[in-house]
Structure 1
C-alpha cells in the first residue's frame, strides 16, 4: 500500500522551493567567505615569536595592561595568534594593552621620517615606549584625557 503522493501537495512544493533557495544562498555565502578568507593576511607568528611576546608580557618591564592581557591568554580566553590575525581588536582590554605598541610604532615612523637610520631605531630594542619619547620625537597626538589617538595613525585607525 502506498501513501498519498506528497509531491503534488502545493505546500510541500513551496517548502521544497524555499529549501532549495536557502541552500543556494548558503552555497553563495560559503563561497564568499572562502574568497574573503583567502584574501586575508594570515598570522605569521612562529612558536618562537609567541614565546618571546609572552615572555615580555609576563616580565616586570611590561606595562600592567599587557601583563593583564597575558593573564587572559594564559587562561585560554584568546591567543597571541588571535590578536595577530586581527581578532579581538574590538576588545577594550586588548586595545588598551596594545596602545603602547601603537605609540611606539608612531614614534618609530616619526624617527624614520626624520631620517634616523633603521639600525638606530631597532638596536636599543625598538622604538621607545609610549612613556619615553625617543630622541628628536614628540609624543603623538592625544585625546582628551591623554589617551593615544589611534585615529591619526597614518591617516586612519589601526584598531578598527
Structure 2
C-alpha cells in the first residue's frame, strides 16, 4: 500500500498471491512517485498463517533521485539537451532518448533482480552504464539481472 500525504489516504499498489510481483510493482510505483517529486511511504501486507500481517517494506531509497533543475533564466530558455528551445531536435534528441531508454532498461533489470534499494551512487553508476553501453549490451545485462532475480 502507498500513503498519499496530500489526501491522507492509503492506496493499494498491487495484489498477488506471490511476493515477487508485488515487490516489483512497489519498486516501479515508488520510482514513479519519486519522479514526480513526491516521497513514497510503503506498507507491505500479506497473508501468513490464515491472517493478514505487515511485512517489512523496503526502507531506503528505491529509485534514482531526480537531478536538480537549473535556476537561471538562461537555462530556462534551453531544452534538457542543453540547446536553445527553438533549435531543431535532430540527432541530439534521438541520442538523449536512446540513453534514457537504456537507463530504464537497466533499472527494470535491477528491479527484477530484487535490487530495489538504490543509493545515489548506484544511480550514477546506472546512468554511466546507460551512457557508455550500446542497446544490445544493455539488453543483455538486463537479461542477466532478470535471470539472477529468478534464482
Q: Same fold (TM over 0.5)?
A: no
Which of the pair has the greater relative contact order for Cα pairs under 8 Å at 6+ separation?
Answer: 2
Hey, which of these two has a bigger chunk of helix by percent?
1
Max radius of gyration: which structure? Answer: 1
TM-score with structure 2 length normalisation? 0.30
TM-score with structure 1 length normalisation? 0.29
